[in-house]
Structure 1
Amino acid sequence: MFPVLITDAERGVTLREFTADDVDAVLAVYGDPKVTEHLSFEPRNRDQVTATINSVTAAARAEPRTEYSLAVENDSEVIGFARLAVDTQHPGQSSAQLGFALRASHWGRGLGTATVRLLLRLGFEELGLYRLWGARSPENLASARVMTRLGMVEEGRIRGHIRVRDRWRDSVVHSILADEWSADQRR
């Protein structure tokens, strides 16, 4: 399934494959300390973002494809990074982890919800996966609201899950199963 292009026309949000031309737009996301505050890494510089774009464009051509890192566009402007990573540790389990980050200037407008909804559509409707899950910083309440709004259930807390900014941080896991993905959530 290459290339991916999935759109929520009503909300003006599209997920599409990254290109080399997207480095500056991703730098505006991943280079911002406010955006990366709740992510699993510190702000990235231009060289790091360029390496990320090179890596995800190569991963998009892999067969079988297990990583879907996609540009989030709002009205034709790249405003974020969305990712669906298929579980390869347990082949045949049909599970994937999702994640996303948007430019801070676009927060609070429903674009995070639209982005995650598109990731759920990709996972369930296009890839036929059974379980999708995401992990968030316990302090990231906006992310909690997005996932809950879309029917994702809070499963619990992984203590000392990742080390970031010289300290261990917990993660809170949310998930949704294919049979829980209702017509209401698709809209």
Structure 2
Amino acid sequence: MRGYEIIGKGLGLREVRPTDVDALLAIYGDPAATQHLPFAPRTREEVEQIVAEAIEAASQRPRRLYVFAVVEADTDEVIGVARIRIEADHPHSAEMGIGLRPDHWGRGMGSDLVRLVLRYGFTRLGLHRIWGARAPANTAAQLAMLVAGMVEEGRIRHHVWTSDGWRDSIVHSALSDEWESHRSG
């Protein structure tokens, strides 16, 4: 597997490419995949813009945004997306986000993907804290983050506006020193 930023148990992360638009549309444009996300399904043009912004962000210094295609190790097929956004005012803290194609749900890939993102953030980027937010109803994301070693911090009330109205978010985080002990323990 060449050209990968990091490889895990069955999954790899690599920088997104213009040729990934269709594969990413299968996530960003799918109503099931975006059900718990703070936006409606995206159009092809919107996904093209996301990819263009990710490619532009890769050339920025200091770099604050990393967007990865999640690739199945056996097939090199793009099955998901992962991102890390480093906070401008706190460069050792970052927000993470992940998404998998619905036909890959229920196979334990979510926790493997969270582990990969944490490993990249802590070992390659030298981050101290990585956090992510999820919809309260997204129990699959809750399980993936907890199994990967993240801690549930609390609820942000009426955090995001969705087509159904205001939605709370549940915040999870991992700290580099805790992650190291979780990883080796």
Report the TM-score range of the alignment, normalised by the length of the smaller protein.
over 0.9
Does structure 1 conserve the Cα–Cα contact (< 8 Å) formed by 2:4 and 2:12?
Answer: no
Aligned CA distance change for structure 1 residues 186 and 69 (closer, same or farther; 3 Å):
farther
1:185 shift after superposition: 2.9
Q: Tell me the TM-score normalized by structure 1.
A: 0.92
Quick check: 1:77 aligned with 2:80? no
Partner of 1:65: 63
Contact 1:117 1:186 in 2 (8 A): no
Alpha carbons 1:159, 1:170 under 8 Å: kept? yes
Give the RMSD, CA atoms, in angstroms.
1.6
In the TM superposition, what is the alpha-carbon distance from 1:183 to its structure 2 partner?
Answer: 5.6
1:142 match: 140
Q: Sequence identity of aligned pairs in percent?
A: 49
Question: Secondary structure at the residue paired with 1:181?
Answer: helix
TM-score by length of 2: 0.93
Give every structure 1 segment of 4 or more consecutive aligned residues whose post-TM-superposition deviation is greater than 4 Å.
none
Match of 2:111 in 1: 113
Question: Residue 151 of structure 2 corresponds to which residue in structure 1?
Answer: 153
Q: CA deviation at 1:184?
A: 4.9
Cα pair 1:117 1:185 within 8 Å, conserved: no
1:93-140 Cα offsets, whole Å, 9 max, x none, are x10011100000001112111111111011111111111110000000
Amino acid at match of 1:132: I
Match of 1:5 in 2: 5
Deviation of the 1:4 alpha carbon: 6.2
Indicate the SS of the match to 1:115. helix
Local SS of the residue matching 2:149: coil
> Aligned partners of 1:184 and 1:169: how far apart in 2?
31
Q: Give the drift of 1:182.
A: 2.8
Q: Is the 8 A contact 2:23 2:79 kept in 1?
A: yes
Residue 30 of structure 2 aligns with which residue? 32
Distance in 1 between the 2:182 and 2:77 partners?
28
Give the distance between the partners of 1:48 and 1:22, measured in 2 at CA. Answer: 13
- What's the counterpart of residue 127 of structure 2? 129
For these two proteins, the number of residue pairs brought into alignment is 181
Tell me, yes or no, if the aligned pair for 1:71 and 1:81 is still in contact at 8 Å. yes
Question: Are residues 176 and 184 of structure 1, via their aligned partners in 2, closer, same or farther at CA, if it must alter by over 3 Å?
Answer: closer
Equivalent position SS for 2:166:
strand
Pair 1:14 & 2:18 matched: no
